[in-house]
């Protein structure tokens, strides 16, 4: 068993990584464990990437409090961690006379939650602001504090900054059970051995129920995944600048049409309750998404869909056997009484991305209330240095970069203009990219029209060379997803034998 840690965080999604980053400002030995081959492979890389203003959650709920507390933190966070963030505001759009009442209700709810600057705009003004909008629009709610981010870039930036400040990250390390002394948690048992710690934070997303049950906490709580499917539209064909929500129906924000910071428009998500984890997209789900999107922007042409994906919301169970307990509407953020040493999170579905920095602060407050004394590190470094993105540079900057390192002159992904220099930088970054998907999420390689058919062999080759392993060992997303079976010569030799 290794030296004890002060805090172990289970789960490397945006919430776990933001908690790691926040705790790394203090004199603590930190470990983050993630069961997958990369951080951010759960809900944190498959969502709408919207930093919500905060008019949607029920007033008084933890969701409302965390959302509204976190929203203003994002400008500073983006500045320190150097990830793209654009506070361009968002709209809820009514397309019938009846829906106008829904806008009034949201406006009132937003005001109760303390969301600044919201107001209603006329149909004419909405048509002016978004020329692609359904011409039958009847009015809209404008929330100027809404924003857009690159959701994976946020997760990786927070994790890297935590590592800069001394946090250890172990990938492919799955929590299995707690090490206990009486009711005191003293560490975790994983597939890679035991790790001791004074505190353990449960940030395991879809597996948060399994983790808390291992400590005997809330046995009645169960995650019921809610799948949301999306279509990505070709940016050369249609580009919507705005974030457009429909008037919400019960329990869901509805199917939106939104810009992304990469230039594509995405449509989705629907909301389907599942009894198991299933990330596949379905014909019925995509049909529902399409019909929903056409209500807001009738000119969307489905021939322009270049990709589809699905994310799973880690929603708690609506009804459970304990009378009066309903887990499907709010976050759990607590230090439970039954055990000592656990910070327990659960049901962190939307707006969990937006709320992540406030959830991280709340974790510190709860630990302080439980007697933990936090001492600020003298050498804490809040700035995570950016790495160059070739396509975003001016001609002069590109030339200077190439003169310094000619690998930036070799274009690997033609659709998204990603260079070999960028890919190599990610392989040697503080959280090294070790799989094709890890390179894709960080650099946007393979996300254009050709969907990776040109770049994939090159990326596999670069990964193998830089990691000093055989190309046969390179995977798409971790063990079991290898691209190559054996070398052609071996196949020939086999046939010839």
Ligand X SMILES: Cc1cc2nc3c(=O)[nH]c(=O)nc-3n(C[C@H](O)[C@H](O)[C@H](O)COP(=O)(O)OP(=O)(O)OC[C@H]3O[C@@H](n4cnc5c(N)ncnc54)[C@H](O)[C@@H]3O)c2cc1C
Asked if 207 interacts with ligand X (CB under 6 A), we say yes
- Segment lying near ligand X (by CB under 6 A), choices 14-22, 163-171, 390-398, 485-493: 14-22
Burial class (CB in 10 A: 0-12, 13-18, 19+), 409: middle
Asked if 419 interacts with ligand X (CB under 6 A), we say no
Element (H, E) at 85: strand 85-86
CA dist 194 and 302 (Å) reads: 51
Element (H, E) at 419: strand 418-419
Enumerate the β-bridge partners of residue 333.
345
Strand 243-246 to 90-94 pairing: parallel
Asked if 269 interacts with ligand X (CB under 6 A), we say yes
Nearer to ligand X, 351 or 446 (CB): 351
Q: Are 407 and 421 in contact (CB under 8 A)?
A: yes
Nearer to ligand X, 21 or 456 (CB): 21
Burial class (CB in 10 A: 0-12, 13-18, 19+), 82: middle
- Which of 7, 8, 9, 15 contacts ligand X by CB under 6 A? 15
Question: Choosing from 52, 119, 213, 262, which is the catalytic residue?
Answer: 52
CA-to-CA dists, residue 264 to 215, 228, 259, 305, 332, angstroms: 43, 18, 6, 10, 34
CA dist 37 and 364 (Å) reads: 28
Q: Helical H runs in 165-313?
A: 208-214, 283-296
Enumerate the β-bridge partners of residue 256.
268
- Which of 5, 7, 8, 11 contacts ligand X by CB under 6 A? 11
Residue 52: active-site member: yes
Quote the least distance from Cβ 345 to ligand X, whole Å.
7
Nearer to ligand X, 178 or 390 (CB): 178
Quote the least distance from Cβ 401 to ligand X, whole Å.
32
Asked if 203 interacts with ligand X (CB under 6 A), we say yes
Nearer to ligand X, 170 or 450 (CB): 170
Which residue is listed with tokens 């709408």?
48
332 SS3 class? strand
Quote the least distance from Cβ 255 to ligand X, whole Å.
11
Asked if 35 interacts with ligand X (CB under 6 A), we say yes
Quote the least distance from Cβ 419 to ligand X, whole Å.
28
CA dist 215 and 213 (Å) reads: 5
For residue 71, what is the DSSP state?
A: G
Structure tokens at 291: 């019909």
Q: Rule CB under 6 A: which of 385-414 touch ligand X?
A: none
- Segment lying near ligand X (by CB under 6 A), choices 9-17, 129-137, 162-170, 417-425: 9-17
**CB atoms < 10 A from the CB of 365, how many?**
10
Asked if 333 interacts with ligand X (CB under 6 A), we say no
Q: Are 274 and 206 in contact (CB under 8 A)?
A: no
- Which of 85, 175, 195, 408 contacts ligand X by CB under 6 A? 175
Structure tokens at 152: 């994976």
Which residue is listed with tokens 């064909």?
237
- Which of 22, 24, 47, 435 contacts ligand X by CB under 6 A? 47
- Segment lying near ligand X (by CB under 6 A), choices 28-36, 129-137, 212-220, 393-401: 28-36
- Which of 5, 12, 71, 330 contacts ligand X by CB under 6 A? 12
- Which of 22, 24, 48, 281 contacts ligand X by CB under 6 A? 48
Quote the least distance from Cβ 210 to ligand X, whole Å.
7
CA dist 6 and 27 (Å) reads: 9
Q: How many residues bind ligand X (CB under 6 A)?
A: 39
Asked if 63 interacts with ligand X (CB under 6 A), we say no
Nearest CA-CA partner of 191 in 342, 10, 438: 10
Asked if 10 interacts with ligand X (CB under 6 A), we say yes
Nearer to ligand X, 99 or 349 (CB): 349
Quote the least distance from Cβ 194 to ligand X, whole Å.
14
HEC string for 30-64? EEEECCCCCCCCCHHHCCCCEECCCCCCCCCCHHH
Q: Rule CB under 6 A: which of 284-313 touch ligand X?
A: 311-313
Q: Are 133 and 125 in contact (CB under 8 A)?
A: no
Asked if 33 interacts with ligand X (CB under 6 A), we say yes
Mask of contacts with ligand X, 342-361, x by CB under 6 A? ------xxxxxxx-------
Asked if 362 interacts with ligand X (CB under 6 A), we say no
Asked if 232 interacts with ligand X (CB under 6 A), we say no
- Which of 89, 146, 187, 205 contacts ligand X by CB under 6 A? 205
- Positions marked active-site: 52
Q: Give the binding site for ligand X (CB under 6 A).
A: 10-16, 33-36, 41-44, 47-50, 52, 174-175, 203-207, 228, 269, 311-313, 348-354
């Amino acid at each position: 068993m290794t030296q004890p840690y002060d805090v172990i965080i289970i789960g490397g999604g945006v919430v776990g990584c933001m908690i790691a980053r926040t705790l790394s400002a203090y004199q603590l030995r930190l470990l983050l464990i993630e069961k997958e081959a990369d951080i951010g492979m759960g809900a944190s890389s498959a969502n709408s990437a919207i930093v919500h203003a905060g008019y949607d959650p029920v007033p008084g709920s933890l969701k409302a409090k965390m959302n509204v507390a976190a929203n203003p933190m994002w400008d500073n966070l983006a500045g320190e961690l150097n990830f793209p963030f654009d506070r361009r505001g968002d709209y809820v759009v009514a397309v019938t006379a009846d829906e106008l009442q829904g806008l009034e209700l949201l406006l009132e709810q937003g005001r109760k939650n303390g969301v600044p600057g919201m107001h209603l705009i006329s149909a004419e003004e909405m048509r002016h602001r978004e020329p692609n909008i359904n011409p039958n629009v009847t009015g809209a709610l404008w929330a100027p504090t809404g924003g857009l981010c690159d959701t994976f870039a946020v997760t990786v930036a927070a994790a890297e900054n935590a590592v800069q400040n001394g946090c250890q990250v172990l990938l492919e390390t799955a929590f299995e059970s707690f090490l206990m002394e009486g009711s005191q948690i003293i560490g975790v048992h994983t597939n890679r051995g035991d790790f001791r710690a004074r505190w353990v934070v449960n940030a395991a997303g879809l597996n948060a129920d399994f983790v808390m049950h291992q400590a005997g906490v809330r046995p009645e709580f169960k995650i019921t995944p809610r799948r949301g499917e999306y279509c990505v539209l070709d940016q050369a064909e249609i580009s919507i600048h705005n974030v457009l929500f429909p008037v919400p129906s019960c329990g869901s924000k509805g199917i939106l049409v939104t810009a992304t910071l990469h230039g594509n428009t995405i449509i989705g998500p629907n909301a389907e309750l599942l009894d198991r984890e299933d990330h596949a997209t379905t014909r019925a789900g995509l049909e529902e998404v399409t019909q929903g999107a056409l209500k807001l922007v009738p000119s969307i042409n489905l021939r322009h869909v270049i990709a589809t994906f699905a994310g799973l919301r880690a929603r708690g169970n609506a009804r459970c056997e304990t009378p009066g307990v309903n887990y499907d509407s709010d976050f759990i953020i607590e230090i439970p009484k039954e055990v000592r040493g656990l910070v327990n999170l659960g049901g962190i579905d939307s707006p969990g991305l937006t709320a992540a920095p406030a959830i991280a602060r709340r974790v510190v407050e709860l630990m302080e209330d439980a007697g933990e004394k936090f001492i600020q590190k003298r050498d804490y470094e809040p700035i995570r240095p950016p790495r160059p993105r070739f396509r975003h540079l001016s001609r002069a900057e590109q030339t200077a970069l190439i003169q310094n390192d000619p690998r930036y002159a070799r274009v690997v992904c033609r659709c998204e203009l990603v260079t070999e220099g960028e890919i190599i930088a990610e392989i040697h970054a503080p959280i090294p990219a070790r799989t094709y998907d890890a390179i894709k999420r960080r650099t946007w390689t393979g996300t254009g029209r050709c969907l990776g058919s040109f770049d994939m062999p090159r990326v596999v080759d670069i990964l193998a060379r830089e990691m000093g392993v055989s190309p046969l060992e390179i995977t798409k997303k971790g063990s079991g997803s290898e691209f190559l079976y054996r070398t052609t010569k071996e196949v020939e030799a086999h046939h010839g034998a």
